[in-house]
A and B are shown apart, each in its own frame.
Chain A
Amino acid sequence: MKITGGEPLLEKRLVLGLLGACRRLGLYAGLESNGTLLSPKVVEQLKRLGLKELGISLDFPDPALHDEFRGQTGVFRAAVDAVRSASRIKLNVSVVTSVFATNLPYLRRHAEFTLTEIPAPNMKVAGVVGLGRAREMNGGLLGPREYLEMATILRELGRLFPDRIAVGLPWSLVNPMDDPGLSFGSCHADGTMGILPDGGVSLCGLGVSRPEAVVGNVLTRDPLAIWRDAELFVYLRTRWGQEFSGVCGACIFHRYCANVCPAYAFEVYGSFSAPFPPCQHLFEEGLFPEYCLLDSPGGA
């Protein structure tokens, strides 16, 4: 179970209750937070309750820039302190960085700061996807050339900091064969059920911005029944990944990175088997790595 937000610790009692339930049921529990409510005491409490993995959002290596972006003074300091508190008690902690147009120029410095100065044991990096509030974010989504630049920087960082940076990026840009110093995450869409703040159920947080992707509500129906019966989840479990449209359908890595984030594909193209939008944009601008293409891609 991954508990995320907004800031989940604004509902601390709920978070503690969920962690307790995870422990009773033997579920792996992770939490993502901006760190503002993570005093050393709270971090210890989370660990005692069985939290296995903590992700702290940090966007910039500079207090003024991070606080300005987050719109709150002191967020940077809180995030850094939370990472250090968790590290001290050996709680598995990572700095989580979403890359967008405004913080891309700082990515190298950010990784150095995160991994050598804080120092966080690990960091997770991905290009921000245009879902929900991110669509209107003031940092700006990455364009195709910026996406390529991010991949180039991450390849360098993988060599500088082997085994400490996990990425959520298409294999056409970084992959385990060419970049063994990086770790590769995937979204496991075929095993994911997102529960929204109002109890709505969707794929991850997609239902917030696309109400048509909400397939039930845990307040009114058994979550297991929703998981078993909802057409969305049946599709994701049984058919998603077999065929993709657009550039993902013609890419040699489709079996491995699939379309990276089917929620983002749905958001942009209205289909879970549509291509990962940044890859499709790269292809349309003639920037997609040619060696990855098996034949001419169809439309998205």
Chain B
Amino acid sequence: MDAQSALKLREDVRWVLRDNGGFVYFPEDGKIEVLSSTAARIARSLLMGLPAETVLEQLVSVYAEVPRHQLEADLQDFLHALEMKGLLARRPTT
């Protein structure tokens, strides 16, 4: 896990996050992107300012049956997808 950057979710969109999922509203075109329950859980943690390492630990505790390396890969894929949609910025911390 990249410890050299802080993760910052875009704040000028509307994040609607619930226990069973959620969605993001984009004000520029009125579109909505649906989030799964896991994606919503991760987004909630990122909005609280938690680092990726802590988010990973949360996932490990929730999905105990899934190998850690798999969860880490899935988390990185999701963060990358958020970046591609302009919803996540990585800011250097060192």
Contacts and interface: CB of A to CB of B under 8 A. Distances in A.
A294 interface: yes
Contacts, number: 24
B interface, by DSSP: helix, strand, loop or mixed? strand
A177 B34 contact: yes
Contacts of A294: 14, 27
Nearest to B25: A252
Q: How large is the interface on A (under 10, 10 to 19, 20 to 34, 35 or more residues)?
A: 10 to 19
B16 A291 contact: yes
A24 to B, nearest CB: 39
Contacts of B29: 255
A254 B32 CA distance: 11
With a 10 A CB-CB cut-off, give which of A177, A253, A254, A255 has the most chain B CB atoms.
A177
A252 B18 contact: no
A256 interface: yes
Given A252-B32, A291-B16, A294-B14, A177 B27 contact: no
Contacts of A291: 14, 16
A198 interface: no
Nearest to B30: A255
A255 to B, nearest CB: 4
B21 A177 contact: yes
A178 interface: yes
Contact of B31 (A176, A177, A178, A255): A255
A interface, by DSSP: helix, strand, loop or mixed? loop
Interface string A106-142: 0000000000000000000000000000000000000
Interface in B1-53: 14, 16, 18, 21-23, 25, 27, 29-32, 34
Interface string A223-247: 0000000000000000000000000
B25 A177 contact: no
A299 to B, nearest CB: 21
24 contacts: A176-B34, A177-B16, A177-B21, A177-B22, A177-B23, A177-B32, A177-B34, A178-B18, A252-B14, A252-B16, A252-B25, A252-B30, A252-B32, A253-B32, A254-B30, A255-B29, A255-B30, A255-B31, A255-B32, A256-B32, A291-B14, A291-B16, A294-B14, A294-B27
Interface of B: 14, 16, 18, 21-23, 25, 27, 29-32, 34
Given A252-B14, A253-B32, A291-B16, 6 more contacts: A178-B18, A252-B32, A255-B29, A255-B31, A294-B14, A294-B27
